[in-house]
Structure 1
Amino acid sequence: MINQHMTRREWALLLGLSVLWGGSFFFVEVALDELAPLTLVWLRVSLAAVALWGYILLTRQPFPRKLATWLAFGTMGLLNNILPFSLIAWSQQDISAGLASILNATTPLFTVVVAGLLLPDEKMTGRKIAGTVVGFSGILLLIGLDVLAGVGDNIAAQMAMLCAAISYAFAGVYGRRFKGMQVKPVTVAAGQLAMSALILLPLMLLVDGDDFLAGHSMAVWLAIGGLAVFSTALAYFVYFRLLESVGASNLLLVTFLIPVSAITLGTVFLAETLRGSSIAGMLLIGVGMSIIDGRLWTGRRGKMHSLD
């Protein structure tokens, strides 16, 4: 069974994960200037896998030997890496990062439905649905409704982003099984990345050729390094620790926090202006997440129970 209410430490890890993943949109935009989408995804997962397996070897953690475990790693890699990473990288060639963030933030909506249907301890409730809708409304305010002006354009790219969000939802639900298989979170992260790299390699060579061997600028290699080490290896280490303890529905609330982290970092380090609508959006996201968590609303127990 999972923790229905996250602890302060788990909320801190979720916020940290949002910062790690928030940087991925920037890294992807830089790298796509010189790399094809599948090549970028393969470099991302393969370098991240090397980093995590290096950590496992240095710390002398057990190596998984069962075929069933590696098949599960392959399925997780397909749902959590190959499909969403490829779809996101392809779609970001045609839509803005702001619109991509909004579409990516539909992940909790899909997760509430998928987890509610498939997991007995993550049942879909009125409270979860209400909190998710409020949080998504905050995303729209935070990023700005003007981004939606391009919704009618590049429908294929937008559908690809939505399919990526659905894939993340199924990955979160599927990943719950590794706790029962007694596989440590860091090993799950390394295993699914390694299988992703192996599965993706022939497809990448077929579609993109040896583009990854061509000379690329230092900026692109730095972006790939940041994407692999921070936004993938370290992020997945945190991801699977949280998935084990708080479940898919709570974990994938991180997609609400990613734009918050990106805008906050831009305000602090890049002297960007924080708009009033952005502040209102952040507050609305906070309200939505508090509704899902439920503890701040215990004084209105009757209303909460009526939603559930």
Structure 2
Amino acid sequence: MRRVVVACLAATMLLLTGCVSTQPDPPDVVVSGDTGQAPTVTYRTPLSVSETVDEEIWPGTGDELVEGQPVLIDFWLEDATDATLVKESYTSSPTPRLLTAEALGKDLYDLLLGQHVGARLLQISPAPGSGAANYPTVTVIDVLNTRADGEPLPPREGLPVVTLDENGAPSITASADAPPSELVTQPLLRGTGQQVAEGDTVTVQYSGFSWSTGESFDSTWVSGGMPVFFPLDRVPAWSALVEQPVGSQVMLVVPPSYSLGATDSEELAGQTIVFVIDILATGPTSASADSDLTGTED
């Protein structure tokens, strides 16, 4: 009886081994490069892949990505038939999206869900791939923060007190002091990323408040915390962000003598304005555009 059992087990193992051996090996794709920099991707072309393959190049250590919440990503997308670059966001602005299958497509949604800020991920997809691509693709994704993550700095006396909720959205307690007559730039959190340069396009979260009442008149946080990006010259007073590093949270106190550019309005005329700004990314304005990973054909 024992011989029969051993024989059956051996036969089962042979069958299982046979099944495993029929599975194709995943494509050999090597991703190199440092965090915060565009990746270098190496593989033999044309790349043959029959099903979507996901790989974690390195894990993130920040907040977990949650269904329905905003995500901010840099990406590098190649046509795997000849390794030509199709689109990338490293020289423009990162892409903000909601973490839903509808907004990202199922493959990218499945790749990102449950990952953490700071992760670098690889996705290899067969034709037709995601979006409008009709060729196999190799995509590298860097998950960026949607809120400032710098080191806290001591608050300055006489300025409004900033309080953050659990998601990072700010509110202020209005100062009883007279408002300053000159523009004030006060870092609240000091990041360690790339510094904002003159003429850059910045990716930010921000809220604007009245100095006298502390009431908010505009905020990215009220629409679900979706980051936005725009050239600094759209709001001239924001030129004070130059040399501030990515990852910082900065308070700008803007007297009424300074132009708010696109945000000028009769409602704000004559008021001192307080902006609390989370700097998430920065880059040259000439290169910035709404890079869309989900639709790869121009």
- TM-score class, shorter-chain normalisation, is under 0.3
TM-score when scaled to structure 2?
0.23
Higher helix share: 1
Structure number with larger C-alpha Rg: 2
Higher relative contact order (CA 8 A, sep 6+): 1
